[in-house]
Amino acid sequence: MSKLILYGTEASPPVRAAKLTLAALGIPYEYVKINTLAKETLSPEFLRKNPQHTVPTLEDDGHFIWDSHAISAYLVSKYGQSDGLYPKDLLKRAVVDQRLHFESGVVFVNGLRSITKPLFASGQTTIPKERYDAVIEIYNFIETFLTGHDFIAGDQLTIADFSLITSITALAVFVDIDPVKYANITAWIKRIEELPYYEEACGKGARDLVTLLKKFNFTFST
């Protein structure tokens, strides 16, 4: 087996999604911490690895892959002893892919990053109300996806759960998840957090992000 190196920062939800996949597969790897706040991703050395200068970035035998969704799918396809986390069945895979695209385009970009980028880039602590509404819409979709199912893409744990658990719990810093209104989400979060590898792969990084975000005295506009 070739040597795997994951470049990332613990607080990053996408990095933790990749780490959850690696942990679920039981794959040994080297983890290299990258300080994104210090703009280490913009160094010439890192840009040669990933010209988009994003984390996570995976190195596999001299080849570089970035985007957590691509990394997770690649890892299961190449190293998984089964296809459970990313099914080969086309219909099942289509559902997983849909959830991954939903996480990437709706949850992360339209939800989380649209709030955090102004916070970090310009200290904008008054968050437009439409961002609150967008998060509520995301919660409503996730609650529906989970109706009658234990996991986000059906009754089996997949890489879609790893992607969404990291971003949804980050959104919860800004908009609480009502345990009554969102009983399915609440139960699903607990289910994922009880995975034997969750704490090491994701728990500490999730708490680090919560601590970082709560330093901003943010409010939503009315």
Indicate whether 36 pLDDT > 80.
yes
Q: Is residue 141 part of a domain?
A: yes
Indicate whether 106 pLDDT > 90.
yes
Percent of the chain whose predicted confidence (pLDDT) is above 90:
98
Considering the domain architecture, whether residues 98 and 20 belong to the same structural domain is answered as: no
Indicate whether 1 pLDDT > 80.
no
Percent of the chain whose predicted confidence (pLDDT) is above 70:
100
Q: With cut-offs at 50, 70 and 90, classify the pLDDT of residue 42.
A: very high
Average pLDDT value for the chain: 97
Render the burial of 50-87: b for 16+ CB within 10 Å, e for the rest: beebbbbbbbbeeeebbbbbebbbbbbeebbeeeebbb
How many Cα atoms occupy the beta-carbon half-sphere of 121 within 13 Å?
A: 6
Q: Any catalytic annotation for residue 163?
A: no
**Tell me, what's the pLDDT at 174?**
98
Q: Summarize the confidence of residues 78-107 as an average pLDDT.
A: 98
**Tell me, what's the pLDDT at 222?**
87
- List the structure tokens of 141: 């979709």
Domain total in the chain: 2
Indicate whether 185 pLDDT > 90.
yes
Considering the domain architecture, whether residues 51 and 161 belong to the same structural domain is answered as: no
Choosing from 12, 68, 163, 167, the catalytic residue is 12
Q: Summarize the confidence of residues 147-167 as an average pLDDT.
A: 98
**Tell me, what's the pLDDT at 2?**
77
Considering the domain architecture, whether residues 24 and 130 belong to the same structural domain is answered as: no
| CATH number reported for the structural domain that contains residue 130 in this entry | 1.20.1050.10
Q: Out of 36, 56, 79, pick the residue that ends a domain.
A: 79
In this structure, are residues 67 and 25 in contact, taking their beta carbons and an 8 Å threshold? no
What confidence tens digit (pLDDT) does each residue in 69-85 have? Answer: 999 999 999 999 999 99
Indicate whether 102 pLDDT > 80.
yes
Q: Is residue 97 part of a domain?
A: yes
Indicate whether 130 pLDDT > 90.
yes
Considering the domain architecture, whether residues 62 and 160 belong to the same structural domain is answered as: no
Indicate whether 145 pLDDT > 80.
yes
Q: Is residue 85 part of a domain?
A: no
Q: Out of 79, 100, 118, pick the residue that ends a domain.
A: 79
pTM passes above 0.75 = yes
Considering the domain architecture, whether residues 142 and 209 belong to the same structural domain is answered as: yes
Count of beta carbons in the 10 Å neighbourhood of residue 216: 17
Q: Summarize the confidence of residues 195-222 as an average pLDDT.
A: 96
**Peptide bond just before 118 cis, omega within 30 deg:** no
Parent domain of 211: 90-220
Q: With cut-offs at 50, 70 and 90, classify the pLDDT of residue 44.
A: very high
Indicate whether 147 pLDDT > 80.
yes
